[in-house]
Amino acid sequence: MADFSTLINAWYRQNRRVLPWRGISDPYKIWLSEVILQQTRVDQGTAYYLKFIKAFPTINHLANAEEDEVLNLWQGLGYYSRARNMHFSAKLVANELNGVFPTTYKGVISLKGVGEYTAAAITSIAYGLPHAVVDGNVYRVLSRYLAIATPIDSKQGKKEFAEVASAFLDHKNPGDHNQSLMEIGALICLPKKPKCSECPLSNSCVALQKKSQLNFPVKSKKTKVVNRYIHYLVFTDGQNTALKKRTGKGIWEGLYDFPMVEKKEGEELTKKDLESFTFSDFTFDGTFKHILSHQKILATFWQVQVEQVKLVDNQIEIPIHQIEDYPLPQLLIRYIKESRLFGAD
Ligand code: SF4
């Protein structure tokens, strides 16, 4: 019987999706595609990839960009630290490495925001180096194929799966091998409905033989989701509004949002919460639910009428019609698309 790599490679040659970053060996473009595809679906990620490459065709273009410009293009993808880290690393490559992308696994993994998975993907695809990738798709395929019950989020599991992935790796063509395995995870070995009848590994898959595909992969911890209740104060004198750039390590670092008050579950917004703000009238302007990996945000927007937008605490005054020039969290984009203040019908 053909070995693991021969089976998946033959399937890949026939069935892979045509994607703009396939068949290229430019490490910058491979890096960008990998970073975008972490936590993002391929159909959504492709549009961002093309937009990004158009704006920053080389790593030096990215290095020379302003952070707001980078975050603006990333807007809607979430996990903004990915964009900030890429920008930081691009500047490092441009300024300290003469614009030459590192060519070794050690060099690539030393870039900010690049972990084992991304370093293995870049070096195997761009340079043909023998590093096996292990991402969510690979965990799923391998855990089912061998019926490995070690939790994938445990130290032991990470080690064990890295060893198994390396043992299967085709050293002659590691880039295609890695992409084949990830593509099978993305298109065939689906989390809830694996298409085992179409799978090139079906003759030797242990989980399929035991009809236990959905028992794998095993996870030990559940992600804890925190509920947050945010009231946004959208100040307006009819022409302008106030925004504030978010600093610190929380969500949306580097993006802009409106002044806000955060409450606990079941608590209403009170006059006391608003005593540091001066306004004549405020009206309810919608609620939006926004789900992140570890947080569920219930945001209430209040339109606050003022004679003149008064700025406190590093806020900036901006013309209402220019709000989309600023990098904003997706939650705010959804709001401004529906609010009459920002031109919605
Ligand atoms: S046979 Fe089914 S469970 Fe096994 S690897 Fe293929 S799709 Fe996954």
- Residue 2: predicted pLDDT: 59
In this structure, the residues whose C-beta lies within 6 A of any atom of ligand 1 are 141, 144-145, 188-189, 194, 196, 199, 201-202, 205, 207-208, 213
Distance CA 6, CA 203 (A): 14
CB 294 within 8 A of CB 223: yes
Q: Annotate 60-97 with b (16+ C-beta within 10 A) or e (fewer).
A: bebbebeeeebbbbbbebbebbbbbebbebbbbbbeee
Distances (CA, A) of 255 to 250, 268, 284, 331: 11, 27, 24, 12
- Residue 46: predicted pLDDT: 95
- Residue 1: predicted pLDDT: 44
Ordered per-residue pLDDT tens for the chain, 345 residues: 459 999 999 999 999 999 999 999 999 999 999 999 987 889 889 999 999 999 999 999 999 999 999 999 998 887 888 999 999 999 999 999 999 999 999 999 999 999 999 999 999 999 999 999 999 999 999 999 999 999 999 999 999 999 999 999 999 999 999 999 999 999 999 999 999 999 999 999 999 999 999 999 999 977 788 999 999 999 998 899 999 999 877 788 889 999 999 999 888 888 788 777 766 678 889 999 998 878 999 999 999 888 887 787 788 999 999 998 999 999 999 999 999 899 887
- Residue 49: predicted pLDDT: 96
**Other CB atoms within 10 A of residue 304 CB:** 24
- Residue 129: predicted pLDDT: 98
Q: Which CATH number fits domain 4-215: 1.10.3720.10, 1.10.340.30, 3.40.50.300, 3.40.50.880?
A: 1.10.340.30
Q: Which of 34, 66, 160, 262 is catalytic?
A: 34
Residue 154, burial from CB neighbour count under 10 angstroms (0-12, 13-18, 19+): middle
CB 279 within 8 A of CB 306: yes
Distance CA 71, CA 84 (A): 8
- Residue 77: predicted pLDDT: 84
Residue nearest to atom 8 of ligand 1 (CA): 189
**Mutation test of ligand 1: which of 208, 212, 214, 216 has the most ligand atoms closer than 8 Å to its C-beta?**
208
- Residue 254: predicted pLDDT: 87
Tokens of 235: 């100040």
Q: Where are the domains of the chain?
A: 4-215, 226-342
If you measure from the C-alpha of residue 283 to the centroid of ligand 1, how many angstroms do you get, rounded to a whole number?
Answer: 54
Asked if 96 is an active-site residue, the reply is: no
Distance CA 257, CA 2 (A): 56
| 0.85 surpassed by pTM | no
Show Cβ contacts of residue 65 under 8 Å, excluding neighbours closer than 6 positions.
Answer: 55, 56, 87
CB 309 within 8 A of CB 317: yes
Distance CA 116, CA 119 (A): 5
Beta bridge pairs of residue 1: none
Rounded to the nearest angstrom, the gap between the alpha carbon of residue 79 and the centroid of all alpha carbons in its chain is 5
The CATH H-level (homologous superfamily) assignment of domain 226-342 is Nucleoside Triphosphate Pyrophosphohydrolase (3.90.79.10)
Q: Shortest CA distance to 50 belongs to which of 267, 176, 285, 42?
A: 42
3-state secondary structure at position 30:
helix
If you measure from the C-alpha of residue 196 to the centroid of ligand 1, how many angstroms do you get, rounded to a whole number?
Answer: 5
- Residue 152: predicted pLDDT: 96
Beta bridge pairs of residue 281: 305
**Mutation test of ligand 1: which of 7, 205, 209, 214 has the most ligand atoms closer than 8 Å to its C-beta?**
205
Tokens of 289: 């639910």
**Mutation test of ligand 1: which of 188, 197, 203, 211 has the most ligand atoms closer than 8 Å to its C-beta?**
188
**Integer-rounded Cα radius of gyration of the chain:** 24
